[in-house]
């Protein structure tokens, strides 16, 4: 049922895009677009690859190739961590599903580019080359960066490249040390002193407060450490993912869809974040496969998926500009993308469904 909706919606969305455009959101009744440079440029092509994977229909392969090709220039970007999201979420599927050698070359180039802002002193990849207005930082590392390590591990494992694996493992270890609190919630951004590797501050940019648990940040953490366990077999990542997963379960509302920040005092009169739920659901399914108490993780994932597939969240054919899910939050503190469809919600929702489908 969801893939039928996804297929119909994605044809609509693909039709609305010019040769250099990528979908960003659907706000105030209109489709918001950007270029390959926006951090989300890999998700819509990734949605198309996943629809192709499920349906086997050639038209989705053709569209996926068209949309994926738009993202290729990002493979040379060396000062921004999102190259991992952008390239792995489309060229990763292209290589996996078609064996295309050019896609593999792109993955390799991008993985090496992603190490461009890694330093041994800090032991992490610097996430952003800019400072946002109202903030000051020197070497920002955001929890989202855990997701970009997948590109390093995919290529590192495939090519037996010790350096790529070293960068990913070092980043994951340092993040485990410095981003997390005693209750396994994490902050959004840790700023490091580049000369010494010391932590200078722990703050939020997209969450409610420096001390709060921004829902998508917790989702990136859950997904990131589950992925690192799958990629390395190191049980410390599994334990960490389980601790994060248990913490999230203890704080989720009954229908499984988190509010945008777990600490918002306005709960339940505030926004849900479908994107965080979709990322969590996909991660819980993966965690279920490897964890000792896996059953609980699958139960939560199924609940999240069923809620996302309900009328409340799933698009009716033809609405919301061709996106699949409603009710995500991009950046509430900056008053941007609040309660809107976003491409990463759709991407991880389909990924979660495919993961379940592969188990049947």
Min CB(337)–ligand GLY separation in Å: 9
Please give the residue whose beta carbon sits closest to ligand GLY in the complex: 144
Q: Find the binding residues for ligand GLY in span 159-198 (CB under 6 A).
A: none
Please say if 144 is a catalytic residue: yes
Residues in the chain: 360
Min CB(189)–ligand GLY separation in Å: 11
Please say if 105 is a catalytic residue: no
Residue matched to tokens 């109202």: 134
Min CB(279)–ligand GLY separation in Å: 9
- Rule CB under 6 A: is residue 65 a binding residue for ligand GLY? no
256/330 with CB nearer ligand GLY: 330
Find out whether 331 and 342 touch, Cβ atoms under 8 Å: no
Query: For the range 251-258, what are the long-range contacts, defined as Cβ-Cβ under 8 Å and sequence gap of 24 or more?
Result: 251/213, 252/300, 255/303, 255/307, 256/281, 256/300, 256/303, 256/304, 256/307, 257/304, 257/307, 257/308, 257/313, 257/327, 258/215, 258/218, 258/219
- Rule CB under 6 A: is residue 261 a binding residue for ligand GLY? no
14/218 with CB nearer ligand GLY: 218
Find out whether 282 and 222 touch, Cβ atoms under 8 Å: no
Task: Tokens for 99, please give them.
Answer: 């064996």
Min CB(207)–ligand GLY separation in Å: 10
The β-bridge relationship of strands 30-34 and 22-27 is: antiparallel
144/264 with CB nearer ligand GLY: 144
Cite the DSSP H helix spans in 16-144.
Answer: 43-55, 58-71, 83-88, 91-98, 101-114
CA distance linking residue 113 with residue 345, whole number of Å: 26
206/307 with CB nearer ligand GLY: 206
- Rule CB under 6 A: is residue 206 a binding residue for ligand GLY? yes
Find out whether 222 and 245 touch, Cβ atoms under 8 Å: yes
> How wide is the angle at C-alpha 256 spanned by C-alphas 144 and 176, nearest 5°?
30
- Rule CB under 6 A: is residue 150 a binding residue for ligand GLY? no
279/287 with CB nearer ligand GLY: 279
- Kind and range of the H or E run holding 141: strand 140-142
- Rule CB under 6 A: is residue 41 a binding residue for ligand GLY? no
Min CB(360)–ligand GLY separation in Å: 30
Half-sphere exposure of 247 (CA within 13 A, CB side): 21
Task: Tokens for 358, please give them.
Answer: 């592969």
39/297 with CB nearer ligand GLY: 39
Min CB(330)–ligand GLY separation in Å: 6
Distance of CA 185 to the CA centre of its chain: 17
Half-sphere exposure of 21 (CA within 13 A, CB side): 12
- Rule CB under 6 A: is residue 144 a binding residue for ligand GLY? yes
The catalytically annotated residue of 28, 34, 79, 82 is: 82
- Rule CB under 6 A: is residue 81 a binding residue for ligand GLY? no
Task: Tokens for 158, please give them.
Answer: 């495939």
Q: Please give the size of the binding site for ligand GLY, defined by CB under 6 A.
A: 5
14/221 with CB nearer ligand GLY: 221
Q: Find the binding residues for ligand GLY in span 301-360 (CB under 6 A).
A: 330
Min CB(145)–ligand GLY separation in Å: 8
The catalytically annotated residue of 28, 34, 100, 144 is: 144
Distance of CA 113 to the CA centre of its chain: 19
- Rule CB under 6 A: is residue 148 a binding residue for ligand GLY? no
- Rule CB under 6 A: is residue 240 a binding residue for ligand GLY? no
- Rule CB under 6 A: is residue 216 a binding residue for ligand GLY? yes
What residue ranges bind ligand GLY (CB under 6 A)? 39, 144, 206, 216, 330
The catalytic residue positions are 82, 144
């Amino acid at each position: 049922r969801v893939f039928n909706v996804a297929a119909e919606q994605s044809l609509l969305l693909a039709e609305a895009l010019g040769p250099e455009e990528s979908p960003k959101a659907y706000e105030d009744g209109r489709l918001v677009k950007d270029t390959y440079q926006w951090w989300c440029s890999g998700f819509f092509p990734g949605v198309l690859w996943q629809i192709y994977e499920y349906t086997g229909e050639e038209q989705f392969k053709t569209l996926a190739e068209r949309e994926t090709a738009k993202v290729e220039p990002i493979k040379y970007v060396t000062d921004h961590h999102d190259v991992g999201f952008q390239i792995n979420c489309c060229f990763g599927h292209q290589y996996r599903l078609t064996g295309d050698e050019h896609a593999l070359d792109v993955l390799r180039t991008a993985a090496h580019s992603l190490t461009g802002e890694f330093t041994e002193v800090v032991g992490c990849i610097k996430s952003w080359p800019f400072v946002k207005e109202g903030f000051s930082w020197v070497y920002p590392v955001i929890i989202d960066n855990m997701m970009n390590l997948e590109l390093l591990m995919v290529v590192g494992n495939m090519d037996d490249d010790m350096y790529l694996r070293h960068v990913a493992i070092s980043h994951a270890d340092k993040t485990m040390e410095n981003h997390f609190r005693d209750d396994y919630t994490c902050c959004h951004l840790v700023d490091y002193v580049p000369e010494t590797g010391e932590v200078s501050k722990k703050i939020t940019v997209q969450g409610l407060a420096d001390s709060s648990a921004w829902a998508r940040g917790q989702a990136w953490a859950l997904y990131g450490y589950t992925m690192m366990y799958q990629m390395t077999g190191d049980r410390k990542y599994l334990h960490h993912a389980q601790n994060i997963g248990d913490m999230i379960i203890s704080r989720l509302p009954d229908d499984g869809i988190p509010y945008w920040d777990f600490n918002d005092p306005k709960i339940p009169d505030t926004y849900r974040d479908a994107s965080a739920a979709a990322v969590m659901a996909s991660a819980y399914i993966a965690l279920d496969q490897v964890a000792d108490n896996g059953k609980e993780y699958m139960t939560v994932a199924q609940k999240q998926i069923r809620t996302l597939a309900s009328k409340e969240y799933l698009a009716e054919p033809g609405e919301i500009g061709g996106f699949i899910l409603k009710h995500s939050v991009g950046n509430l503190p900056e008053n941007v993308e609040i309660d809107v469809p976003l491409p990463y919600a759709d991407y991880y929702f389909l990924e979660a469904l495919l993961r379940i489908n592969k188990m049947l």
